[in-house]
Every structure is written in structure tokens, then in C-alpha cells.
Chains A and B, each alone.
Chain A
């Protein structure tokens, strides 16, 4: 039987070849190119590229925007994650109960997962319209807003609005992941706890929560990356306004690159964001490993 192993190797390599070629050209190369561009100034008019060393990065450190964009990014991320995880866990615990109607409720709660962000941005803006928006109207009646005022025109109101929109969109992902973990808890664990005389609160504390720990660790990492770098919602609802109040890091990258065509500077901002995320994720994974070893 000459070469069944080598024929298998050949078959395997041939099968994945298109995927590898695609990933190299359109993922690996862009990653490297982002890093390269961050040391370059691109002249938009002539398309000439000039090596400028660390000038883009030192420019970033001196940029007045840096402070508040970083702060906005932090508020956006923490607010979104807290809401998504809080609501997601509550919802998962609810739909996990075997009650009539829960399947339909589960289906409804999953809808934001596929609703186009553009549609979300549109109805959010419509509900928050200063004159005809239903949510604005309720807030105005409650004297939380002046008459004919939209929350989107106020810095804090806009921040809260985009975070709420992101919670709306992102919590089903957390819910369904937690639900999958809850489904995977063996019934014996609950029975054992009951035999030991545990009440419902203790069951939750000593059976349910520990079983959700692993998925929480993974999801926290994924959601962190996706939330920090999520561009569409803020761009489509506020464009970073009013007066930069909701401008977070991705909007900054976008505006430098596509608004002012400073590709080099945009790339430096992108590289910085990627490096910060990479360092944070590495530290996080390292801490998890430490925790496991201990």
C-alpha cells in the first residue's frame, strides 16, 4: 500500500488550499499592512507614501482627542458589557425554565441577533426624535427632558442611548450562550445538591453559577473585543456626536481614515487599539491559566 498516508496528506492540503490562500491574502496581509502603514504618511493627492517612523504615534499621544475618546470607549464598553451580561443571564435563567410559552419568548428574545443594525439605528432615532419620538415624549412628560428635546442632542443622553441600543442588540448572544451552558448542566448535580438538603438559593450558588464560569470567561473575552471595536451602532445613531460625546476609538479610526484620508494615522490608531486588546487578552488568558494552576 504505497503512500496512502501521503495521498491523504495531499488531499488534505489541496482541500484547504483555497482557504489558506484566501486567509493569507485577505487577513494575514492586511494585518501586516496595518502595522506597516502606521509608520507611514500617505499623501492623498499624489498617493505617495513616506516613512515617518513613530511620528503617527507621537501625534496620537499629543492629540487632544486621545483622552476623551479613550474615556468614551471605556464607558461604552463597560456599560454595554454590564447590560448585556446582566440581562443575558437573567433571560437565560428564565428561558431555561420548562414553562409553557417559553419557546416563543426565546424566539422573540433572539430577534435582535439578526435585525440589521441600520434598522435598529433608524427606529432608535425615530423613538428618540425630539418632537414625535415616543420615548422622548415619555421622558418629557416625566420631566426628565425639556419639551421638544431629544436625548440624542445631549451628551449624556446620547451616550446612554447608544449603550442601550448596543445592549438591545448584544444581549441575545449572551443569553443564548448562557442558555446552552445551562442546558449542559447534568441533572444529577441538582439531585445531589437536593439530597444534601440545599435550598433553591444554594443550588444556584453551588451548582448553577460554577457551571457558568467557563462560558463567562470565554464570552467576556469575545464580547470585550467585539464591543470595543464595534462601529456601526454609534456611527449610524449619532456619528460620534453631539460634539464628540459618543466618539469612541473605532469612530476615530474611521474619521481619520475615510473622513480626512489620513491612512497612516488611521492605521496607527488601529494598530494601537489592536495592541491594547492583544495585551489585555494575553494578560487575561494568563490570569485564567494561573487561576487554574493554583
Chain B
């Protein structure tokens, strides 16, 4: 048994290191490529470690292109989506975990359906609604779309966080004469805050990474988000790999940092059964 365990442990290390290489190498390669000077970037065979380091590509994209604007746009859309989604989401999560009312099960079922429903199937009518509302190429239009994508998931996760707060706490507040709204705002929300922050970061990451709606809706140069703006760098006939790798790195770093900072809550959410891929 002991020997077998040792073998299994060695096997576990071997497999997981192979997987770390599979996952980590492309990311590492992106970062390394973004700091290699042209003389090392465009050589065959490629060298792994850069002998010289340059900030040229970062300088080019940050001061010589629309990229800063893309980042600003993504930040605004992501923040607005997060706020709208969390507001509606925590109100309804509170509603469905605390009160009985007709249609409650239907709403939860609806959220579940929305959670699995693929965007590609809905994007034409959604595009047309946004068009009718006159919101093409505006932040509001894209925020609506990102809320559609993230809301069912947010509700689902928030519900599991709210469920963990005992109902006795609400009831004690009610007995003391606090209104439902006051109980929610000053007692339940602070208790649910870690969960809400975790869900919020998730919503932000999904919005930050979203491509399909952003590419269809945000057509003018000033309104493009990061994924859409970067995508245009590759479709141009002159592919500027150095700049592209710098942009890829810049797009990846914020979400990775955010994700690592909430990983604890994320894992807790996973253990209570809520993930979205």
C-alpha cells in the first residue's frame, strides 16, 4: 500500500507537471514574445529565452494606437455590467431565498435555462432589439447584452450565497420592526458581501472577455472593447506580432490578477455547485 501510494504520488506530479507545461507554456510564450526585440522575435529557429529585453511593443500600443481607449471602454462596460447585474441579482436572490410567492419556481427555472442558453442562438434578435432601442455602438447596448449573458449565472451563484445566511437573522430584524428593505440593505447585504464581490469579479471577467456581442455592436473605433480592438490587429494584412503579444498580455493580466485574488471564494462557490465555462 505504501509503495503504491508513493508510485501514485510520483505519477500525480508527473501528470500535473505535464499539464502545467501544456497550460503555462503558451502563456509564458506570449509574455516572453511581448518583451523580445524584433531581432529575436522574427528568427527561425525561435530562441526560448530573450537575450535582450525591449519595451518597444508596449510603447507602440500604449502611445501609438487606440489600445488605451479599448481598455477604457472595456473597463466602463465591465463595471456597468457588474453593477447592474449585482443589483438586480442580489435583489432577486434575496427574494427567492427569503419569500414565498407565486412564480418563484418558474423564475428559478428560467434562470437555469438562461444559464445554459447559448448566445449564438439569440444574438440576431438581441441585435435587433438593441438596434430598435437605438443603442448600437453605445455602452448601454453592450451592457444589456453582457447582463443577458451573466445575469442567470450571477443569480444562481448569489442564491447559493444567500441560502447560507440563516433566515433567523432576517426574522429577528423583522421582529425588531425593521422593514424588509432595511433588513436587506443593512443586515443581509453586509453578510453576503464576500460572495457578492466574488460573483461581481466573475461578471466583470466574463464581460471583459466577451467577444461576440461586442464585435457586432461596437462598430466605431472609439467604442471598441479590448477583444474587438485586438481582433482587428490580426485581421489586418500586416500582422504585428510584437504589438499583438503585448496587447494579449495587457488583456490577460488584469483578469488573472482579479481571479487569483478571489480564488478562495471561487473554490467555495465551486464546492457549492456553481460554475460557468
Contact status B124-A263, CB under 8 Å: yes
Q: Mark A106-142, 1 if CB is under 8 A from B, else 0.
A: 0111111111111111111111010111100100010
Q: Which residues of A are found within 8 Å of B121, using beta-carbon distances?
A: 34, 229, 253, 270-271, 273-274
Contact status B23-A109, CB under 8 Å: yes
Contact status A12-B46, CB under 8 Å: no
Asked if B166 lies at the interface with its beta carbon under 8 angstroms from chain A, I say no
Asked if B92 lies at the interface with its beta carbon under 8 angstroms from chain A, I say yes
Q: Assuming A37-B124, A200-B4, is B107 touching A11 (CB within 8 A)?
A: no
**For the complex, what is the distance from the CA of A133 to the CA of B22, rounded to whole Å?**
16
Partner of A9, one of B99, B152, B270: B99
Partner of B125, one of A8, A33, A254: A33
Asked if A151 lies at the interface with its beta carbon under 8 angstroms from chain B, I say no
Contact status A99-B13, CB under 8 Å: yes
Contact status A34-B8, CB under 8 Å: no
Contact status B255-A168, CB under 8 Å: no
Contact status A23-B114, CB under 8 Å: yes
Contact status A177-B124, CB under 8 Å: no
Q: Assuming A23-B111, A26-B126, is B8 touching A97 (CB within 8 A)?
A: yes
Asked if B12 lies at the interface with its beta carbon under 8 angstroms from chain A, I say yes
Contact status A114-B244, CB under 8 Å: no
Stretch at the interface among B50-58, B60-68, B191-199, B205-213: B205-213
Q: Which residues of B are found within 8 Å of A23, using beta-carbon distances?
A: 107, 110-111, 114, 151-152
Stretch at the interface among A55-63, A85-93, A155-163: A85-93
**For the complex, what is the distance from the CA of A12 to the CA of B221, rounded to whole Å?**
44
Asked if B49 lies at the interface with its beta carbon under 8 angstroms from chain A, I say no
Q: How large is the interface on B (under 10, 10 to 19, 20 to 34, 35 or more residues)?
A: 35 or more
Q: Which residues of B are found within 8 Å of A236, using beta-carbon distances?
A: 211, 231, 234
Asked if A20 lies at the interface with its beta carbon under 8 angstroms from chain B, I say yes
Interface residues of B in 248-262 (CB under 8 A from A): 248-249, 251-252, 255-256, 258-260
Asked if A105 lies at the interface with its beta carbon under 8 angstroms from chain B, I say yes
**For the complex, what is the distance from the CA of A115 to the CA of B209, rounded to whole Å?**
8
Partner of B129, one of A12, A15, A30: A30
**For the complex, what is the distance from the CA of A229 to the CA of B46, rounded to whole Å?**
36
Q: Assuming A12-B99, A95-B16, A127-B29, is B277 touching A110 (CB within 8 A)?
A: no
Asked if A183 lies at the interface with its beta carbon under 8 angstroms from chain B, I say yes
> Shortest distance in angstroms between B196's beta carbon and chain A's nearest beta carbon?
15
Name which of B48, B125, B128 has the most chain A CB atoms within 10 A of its CB: B125
Contact status A116-B227, CB under 8 Å: yes
Q: Which residues of B are found within 8 Å of A20, using beta-carbon distances?
A: 92, 103, 107
Contact status A15-B275, CB under 8 Å: no
Q: Assuming A87-B19, A114-B205, A177-B275, is B95 touching A99 (CB within 8 A)?
A: no
Q: Assuming A11-B99, A30-B122, A119-B30, is B88 touching A19 (CB within 8 A)?
A: yes
Asked if A94 lies at the interface with its beta carbon under 8 angstroms from chain B, I say yes
Asked if B9 lies at the interface with its beta carbon under 8 angstroms from chain A, I say yes
Q: Assuming A115-B256, A119-B251, is B180 touching A22 (CB within 8 A)?
A: no
> Which partner residue on chain B sits nearest A25 by CB separation?
B129
Asked if A258 lies at the interface with its beta carbon under 8 angstroms from chain B, I say yes
Partner of B117, one of A27, A120, A124: A27
Excluding A16-B104, A34-B125, 13 further A-B contacts by CB distance (< 8 Å) are: A12-B99, A13-B101, A16-B95, A19-B92, A22-B151, A110-B263, A111-B24, A122-B230, A123-B29, A126-B30, A180-B270, A222-B277, A273-B121
22 CB contacts below 8 A, A to B, read A16-B104, A19-B155, A26-B147, A90-B15, A91-B15, A94-B19, A105-B20, A110-B259, A117-B209, A118-B209, A119-B248, A123-B29, A123-B30, A123-B33, A132-B43, A137-B46, A180-B273, A200-B8, A229-B118, A229-B119, A254-B212, A273-B120
